[in-house]
C-alpha cells in the first residue's frame, strides 16, 4: 500500500454488489435439483420462471408485454430487428453510451448515426432534430447512459414528427421515471439489464417491454421459443403469431429459468435500493463539488433518476486528468475516465469503435467526454465513505491542477 503524505486511503471495492435474496437462492437451488433450467419444454403445472418474471415486470412498469432475454444487448438487437431494421439502414443513437449500444446496431447490420451530447450529458435535441430530418433513419436507439434521462417529451415530439420509432436502452434506469412515467415505456420498445452491476442481478440477463403486438410476437420468436409461445403468460393472440412464425429467425437469446428465479424477488427491492442509491448520490454530489475544478450538472425536476453511479466534469487538461487518476489510485480510489485514449473495462467512447461506417463530426461530444469522470456507487458506501472520497478527490485535483 503506497500512501501519500496526507494519509488518505479508501481501498473499498466499488464493484461490490448486493447479495442475492435468500428467497431467490432457495428457488435457484430447487431448480438445480430439478434440472429444469431451460425455460421451454414439459413444465408440468404452472408457468416457467421467466414467464412469471415477465408478468411481474410488465405490471411493475405498466407495459402490455415483457420478454425475458439473455442480455440488454440482446433485447436491443431484437427490438431493432422487430422494428424492421435491415442491413444498411441508419439508426440514430446518442454519443454518450457504452459499446453494447452501437454493438446492437452493428449486429442488426445497420449503421449508427451518432447524436451530439450536451454539457449536461444528455442527447442534444437540436442535433437530434437535424439528423432526424436528414439521415433517413427510422429508429432512434436512445441510451439513458449512466442513468441520465433526457427530455423524453421533447425527444418523442421530434421522433413522432419524423416517423422515427424509439427504442430505449434502460440498462442504467430500471425503476427510474421521467415526469412520472417509467423509462422504457415512452417509446416503442424498452430494454433493461440484469447484469451484475445493474439494479437487479442475475449475472447476465435482459428484459424487453412493449405495447406492440407484432413486436412482442417477434421478440418471443426471435429470443428462441421453439414455437412454445403458449408457455408465456403475456403473449399476443394466435393470429399475430401466424403472421410471424414462419418468417422470424430463432436467435437463441432467451432467459433461463435459473436467471429468472434469481430476479423475481429483486423487483420488490427496487424502490428501497433506489432510495439508498440516491442518498449516496446526494452525499457524493455535495462532497465532490467542494473541489474547485469539479462540476456536476443539475438534474431536471422531471427526472426521477436512480443513481447507481455518479459522473462529474473535471475541468482540467488531459495530462492533468491522468495525474488526477494516478493520485486517486495511490489513495485506493479507482475512477474511470470517458476520455481515455484506449477503452478500459466498462468505459469507452465513440473513437474506440472503429467499425463505425462513418466517422462522426461531433465536436461538442468530444469536449464533454474528454473531461467526463465516472465513479460507481455500490450500496455498501456509507456517509463516511462519501466524505473520504470527497477528500481524496479534492486533494488529487489540487495536485493535478498544479502539474
Q: What residue ranges do the domains of the chain occupy?
A: 22-267, 270-401
Assess whether pLDDT exceeds 80 at residue 359. no
- 339: CB partners within 8 A, 6+ apart: 318, 321, 349, 369, 370, 371, 372
- The rounded distance, in Å, linking the Cα atoms of 398 and 403 is 9
Average pLDDT value over all residues in the chain: 96
Are the C-beta atoms of residues 312 and 284 closer than 8 Å to each other? no
Are the C-beta atoms of residues 59 and 241 closer than 8 Å to each other? no
Residue 46's pLDDT is 84
φ, ψ at 5 (rounded to 5°): -55, -25
Are the C-beta atoms of residues 112 and 163 closer than 8 Å to each other? no
332 sits in which H/E element? none
Residue 3's pLDDT is 46
Global pTM value: 0.96
Q: pLDDT per residue over 127-167, tens digit each?
A: 999 999 999 999 999 999 999 999 999 999 999 999 999 99
Average pLDDT over residues 90-110: 97
Burial of 29 (0-12, 13-18, 19+ CB in 10 A): exposed
CA distances to 34, 194, 266, 330, 361 from 144, rounded to whole Å, are 39, 15, 21, 32, 21
- Spacing of C-alpha 179 from chain mean position: 19
Are the C-beta atoms of residues 219 and 208 closer than 8 Å to each other? yes
Average pLDDT over residues 21-43: 94
Percentage of residues in the chain with pLDDT exceeding 70? 98
Residue 1's pLDDT is 38
Residue 343's pLDDT is 85
Question: Is domain 270-401 annotated with CATH 2.60.40.1840?
Answer: no
Are the C-beta atoms of residues 91 and 80 closer than 8 Å to each other? yes
CATH of domain 22-267: 3.40.640.10
Residue 386's pLDDT is 98
- The rounded distance, in Å, linking the Cα atoms of 39 and 54 is 12
Given pLDDT bands bounded at 50, 70 and 90, which one contains residue 20? very high
Assess whether pLDDT exceeds 70 at residue 316. yes
Spatial strand order of the sheet with 294-295 comes to 294-295, 309-314, 372-376, 336-337
Amino acid at each position: 500500500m503506497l500512501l501519500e503524505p496526507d494519509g488518505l486511503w479508501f481501498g473499498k471495492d466499488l464493484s461490490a454488489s448486493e447479495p442475492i435474496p435468500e428467497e431467490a437462492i432457495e428457488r435457484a437451488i430447487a431448480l438445480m435439483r430439478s434440472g429444469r433450467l431451460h425455460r421451454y419444454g414439459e413444465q408440468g403445472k404452472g408457468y416457467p420462471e421467466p414467464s412469471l418474471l415477465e408478468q411481474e415486470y410488465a405490471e411493475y412498469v405498466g407495459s402490455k408485454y415483457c420478454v425475458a432475454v439473455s442480455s440488454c444487448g440482446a433485447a436491443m438487437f431484437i427490438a431493432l430487428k422487430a422494428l424492421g431494421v435491415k442491413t444498411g439502414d441508419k439508426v440514430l443513437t446518442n454519443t454518450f453510451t457504452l459499446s453494447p449500444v452501437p454493438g446492437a446496431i452493428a449486429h442488426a447490420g445497420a449503421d449508427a448515426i451518432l447524436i451530439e451530447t450536451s454539457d449536461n450529458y444528455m442527447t442534444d435535441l437540436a442535433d437530434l432534430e437535424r439528423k432526424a430530418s436528414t439521415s433517413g433513419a427510422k429508429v432512434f436507439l436512445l441510451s439513458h447512459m449512466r442513468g441520465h434521462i433526457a427530455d423524453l417529451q421533447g425527444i418523442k415530439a421530434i421522433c413522432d414528427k419524423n416517423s422515427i420509432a424509439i427504442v430505449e436502452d434502460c440498462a442504467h434506469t430500471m425503476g427510474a421515471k421521467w415526469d412520472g412515467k417509467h423509462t422504457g415505456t415512452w417509446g416503442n420498445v424498452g430494454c433493461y439489464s440484469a447484469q451484475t452491476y445493474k439494479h437487479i442481478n442475475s449475472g447476465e440477463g435482459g428484459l424487453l417491454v412493449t405495447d406492440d403486438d407484432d413486436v412482442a410476437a417477434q421478440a418471443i420468436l426471435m429470443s428462441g421459443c421453439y414455437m412454445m409461445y403458449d408457455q408465456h403468460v403475456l403473449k399476443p393472440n394466435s393470429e399475430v403469431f401466424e403472421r410471424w412464425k414462419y418468417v422470424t429467425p430463432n436467435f437463441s437469446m432467451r432467459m433461463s429459468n435459473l436467471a429468472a428465479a434469481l430476479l423475481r424477488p429483486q423487483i420488490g427491492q427496487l424502490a428501497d435500493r433506489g432510495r439508498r442509491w440516491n442518498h449516496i448520490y446526494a452525499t457524493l454530489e455535495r462532497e465532490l463539488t467542494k473541489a474547485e475544478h469539479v462540476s456536476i450538472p443539475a438534474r431536471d425536476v422531471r427526472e426521477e433518476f436512480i443513481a447507481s453511479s455518479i459522473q462529474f466534469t473535471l475541468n482540467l487538461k488531459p495530462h492533468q486528468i491522468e495525474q488526477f487518476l494516478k493520485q486517486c489510485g495511490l489513495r485506493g480510489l479507482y475512477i474511470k475516465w470517458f476520455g481515455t485514449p484506449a477503452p478500459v473495462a466498462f468505459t469507452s467512447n465513440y473513437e474506440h469503435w472503429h467499425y463505425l461506417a462513418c466517422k462522426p463530426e461531433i465536436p461538442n461530444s468530444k469536449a464533454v467526454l474528454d473531461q467526463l469522470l465516472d465513479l460507481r456507487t455500490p450500496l455498501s458506501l456509507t456517509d463516511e465513505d462519501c466524505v473520504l472520497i470527497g477528500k481524496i478527490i479534492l486533494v488529487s485535483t489540487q495536485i493535478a491542477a498544479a502539474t
